[in-house]
Amino acid sequence: MADLSRAHIEAFLEMMSAERGAAGNTLSSYERDLEDLQSFLLASSTSALTAQSANLSAYLAHLGAQGFAASSQARKLSAMRQFYKFLYAEGLRGDDPTAILDAPKKGRSLPKIMSEDEVTRLLELAAKEAAEPGPEQLARLRMLALLELLYATGMRVSELVSLPVKVLDQEGRFLVIRGKGNKERLVPLSRSAIAAVASYGEVRRQALAKSGDSPWLFPSTGKEGYLPRQVFARDLKGLAARAGLRAAAISPHVMRHAFASHLLQNGADLRVVQELLGHSDISTTQIYTHVLEERLRELVQTHHPLAKQAKNRE
């Protein structure tokens, strides 16, 4: 039985190479996955050639019990489907037992967020550097304004870097943002964000007085005319490293996540956060409630007296 199934696996791999032009790494991956399947089936007194849908479902359940990620299970299922389509096309089976199998559901990954202390450290260093005079002061004031605006509003980075210069002429503590689908939303500004933008705006005017103004708040010589988001992301990682934070974990999008999570942690309504973020569907915003649930669970496990007693008994 084992030799027979092995021969079919080899024939399948030959077909994938000759007819589909599959790369060597792909063929090796298929071979490993199908041999693993065959080993499982042999232990259940069947083989890849005679297995039914129930046997293959049991194999997928076995993978889940072994701790394989949903993505790994999906890859193995893909190899199985290709193999059984081959067996059916060759007339070696009269059916395809993978046809009714469902792909394992991938868990929705939780967004990376920063703690309030980490955001404070980042903003304090940005403010300290922005206060230092010198030829690079405009860039440092720009970084402070970008960060204050981002953390005050939770804007998408594309919305942030493309803000118009008329923002400098606005009065009051609200900002109109044009987001996805050209939809506008109103977001409040913090006092520190207003002050940072004003300081940056003054130095910006002086710097552009001779060369002519730009329609963008954060102008650039690039083709778009405004600061590329990749440049902001790079500079942000540099600031994070200088602040003693793990630069790889910090990005403009992570700051947006921090804005939403910190609002919810401090009692904001989910619908309000949805509106501020510009989400058309509240289900998109609800991912942040999972972050809070996980943090609450960690807090209970760390600080609840019964949890401590259980840990001591282990």
In angstroms, rounded to a whole number, what is the distance separating the alpha carbons of residues 92 and 193? 69
Residue type, 195: A
Burial class for 209, CB neighbours closer than 10 Å (0-12, 13-18, 19+) = exposed
Catalytic pick among 32, 112, 173, 180: 180
Half-sphere exposure of 101 (CA within 13 A, CB side): 24
Structure letter (DSSP) for residue 212? -
Distance spanning both ends of the chain, measured CA to CA: 47
Residue 180 annotated in active site: yes
In angstroms, rounded to a whole number, what is the distance separating the alpha carbons of residues 28 and 221? 48
Helix (H) or strand (E) holding 160: helix 157-161
Residue 156 annotated in active site: yes
Place of tokens 């949890």: 307
In angstroms, rounded to a whole number, what is the distance separating the alpha carbons of residues 151 and 118? 12
Catalytic pick among 6, 62, 121, 279: 279
Residue 81 annotated in active site: no
Contact 82, 73 (CB under 8 A): no
Residue 234 annotated in active site: no
Residue 253 annotated in active site: yes
CA separation, residue 265 to residues 184, 200, 260 (Å): 26, 31, 9
Catalytic pick among 140, 156, 204, 257: 156
In angstroms, rounded to a whole number, what is the distance separating the alpha carbons of residues 154 and 254? 10
Residue 257 annotated in active site: no
Contact 35, 28 (CB under 8 A): no
Contact 13, 25 (CB under 8 A): no
Question: Which residues does the annotation mark as catalytic?
Answer: 156, 180, 253, 256, 279, 288
